[in-house]
Amino acid sequence: MKQGDDIMINGACYVRVSTDNQLENYSIEEQTDRLKAYCKAKDINIVKFYTDGGCSGGNINRPALQQLLLDVENKSLDAVIVYKLDRLSRSQKDTLMLIEDKFLANHVDFISINENFDTLTPFGRAMIGILSVFAQLEKDQITERFTMGRIGRAKSGYFHGGGYAPTGYDYVGGNLVINEYEALQVKELYKRFANGHTVHDCWQYMSKKYAANCRTWKSETLIRNVLKNQVYIGKVKFKDVIYQGSHTPIIPEELFNEVQEIFLTSRKNMDSFKRSPFKASTLLSSLVYCGKCGAKFHGEHGNYSCYSRTKGDKRYVIDPDCKNKKWKIEELDRTVIDYIAGLNFSTLEALPPEAPRSLDYSHRIKEIEKQIEKLVDLYQVGSIPIHTITEKINALTKEKSILQDAMDNINDIKVTPEDLRAAKDRFAKLLLSGDLQEKRYCLTILIDKIIVDDEHVNIIIRQA
């Protein structure tokens, strides 16, 4: 703030009020009157009032405050004045950020008249931090009281939905009351899923049969939410704690548990078959291997290609001179699909198991470990900046993890004849319109690996 008898100080007054604070004599008019009186007494020229009405002090996403910050950056102000510190913010972090990073950084002082201090003095600067702590404490206490009230409602069995009722219920007077027509749909969904239909199948069926309920059945995500929601067995949940609800259940607990077991089993299987930390974009990704050098094939630009040949990712290159043939994605996909369609598991069980080529990245892993050791030595002698060393070590560690994961997981999947038959049937159902990841899930149950050697394609089925 500029000082001196002959220099006019240009100040901006910020006023905020929320609904709760209307009851605390912090009205806009009250704050405005006190700010005007203060500035008149201090010979401060009020350039503008910035007013946020009905805005919480818990964040800084307020229209008037954002405009004030723009004007501060434009160097048109000498000081920002508020009636009380918590009018600026109730968050300690936001308060200090606004004062130090926005106001003071732009040579704009800050004054809070209720606490009688400003940033011109060391005492004022210290008091800002102290009072911000108490403003944050007040906010936390309000939040705690609110949370305790909601916990109390949950313990009493009341559903917390903010007026929104889950499918199958209506929200009446703060209670869940069964909507018979929607409850019938929920029961049908649970039975279909428990009888072996996939989430995708259920979504297609429900969205067509109950088109009027498009809000509920418009996506697979909503289907999953209904199938996993404990509200249907008479429970309510708040802050990850389950309480006995006061409403009437729609689904028997035995059926609900059966459905959750299906989800759990599917998740375990999907985790077991996961071969890459990245979501695959082609049907056969992570299943195809080069018959010449042993590297993986990957799908790009319409082709499945050996990593060694394309050199797209050096972590997967085994033989830089590999010349294995590229396959059109649709051609190799069709070859595998036709093969799966013709599988006869009664004859498969009589075939001797094939010995798939094992992957060995141990040489590269040892090289990575040596490189990391060298980087650590370089750090100790201080010849390379720490941020450079950190970046290199992180990249090498990630590469090592991917290679080790590929070696560890290549042959660790155990399946039963029933698993193979079920996966084949499910894959056939998904072919026309199923989700790509679900199709891949079925193939990873059926196929151990696909080895491509120019024109020859060897599809190795898992041994039950």
Neighbours of 133 (CB within 10 A): 12
d(CA 221, CA 346): 37
Q: What share of the chain is helix, strand, coil (3-state, %, to 5)?
A: 50, 15, 30
Strand order in the sheet with 303-306: 297-300, 303-306, 327-328
Paired residues of 305 in beta bridges: 298
d(CA 321, CA 308): 7
Crossing angle for the helix pair 436-446 and 253-273, to the nearest 10 degrees = 70
C-alpha separations of 79 from 2, 48, 61, 294, 427 in Å: 9, 11, 21, 70, 69
- Residue 395's SS3 state is helix
For the chain, the C-alpha Rg in angstroms (whole number) is 33
Q: In the annotation, is 156 catalytic?
A: no
Side-chain-side CA neighbours of residue 102 (13 Å): 20
Crossing angle for the helix pair 329-341 and 436-446, to the nearest 10 degrees = 60
- Active-site entry in 18, 56, 266, 272: 18
User: Looking at the annotation, which residues are catalytic?
Assistant: 18
